[in-house]
Amino acid sequence: MILKIVSVGDPVLRKNASQLTANDIRSPRIQDLIAHMRDTMQDAPGVGLAAPQVGQSLQLAVIEDKPDYHKNLTAADLKDRERKPVPFQVIINPKIELLTPPEVTFHEGCLSLPGFMAAVPRAQKVRVTCLDEHGKPRTIEASGWYARILQHEIDHLNGRMYIDSMQSETFSSLENYQRNLKK
């Protein structure tokens, strides 16, 4: 089932989302939500989707960066961004540790702010401790684009959006980004 993605301005996007217990995670309601979020993310398409983006104030996000999403990028773009495929995964109740300063800047977009992009500085390397879709503890060490995706989605769970960290002079419509700014 494809869920409705809420847009910037909806109060749910600015709340600190609620944590889930292991029992919550294993419940049919949350397992269905995970499946619907995966379908919604893939339909959009996007590389991540946080529960607040579908109106659920829960510490839950899904991530997947498919090889298909890389086909329009040059080898140089992929190398610069350290972008590699990321298999589907679920992060619940994540805690993030920045292992490098937030000094790597690339343009980002967001499914809750469709049609726009801006340059956002992010840490190149992060460590995330979380629970998976079975309620099992997991630690993720990520770098490059994968680290960027994790930071973006975890921001959503803490009531933040990329526009809070963007370099405001780079904010652009997707059309103007592709016409004037894309390298």
| Catalytically active residues, by annotation | 153
Q: CA-to-CA distance for 51 and 22, rounded, in angstroms?
A: 17
137-143, strands of its sheet edge to edge: 48-50, 60-65, 86-98, 125-131, 137-143
146 three-state secondary structure:
helix
Q: Which secondary structure element, helix H or strand E, spans residue 63, and what is its range?
A: strand 60-65
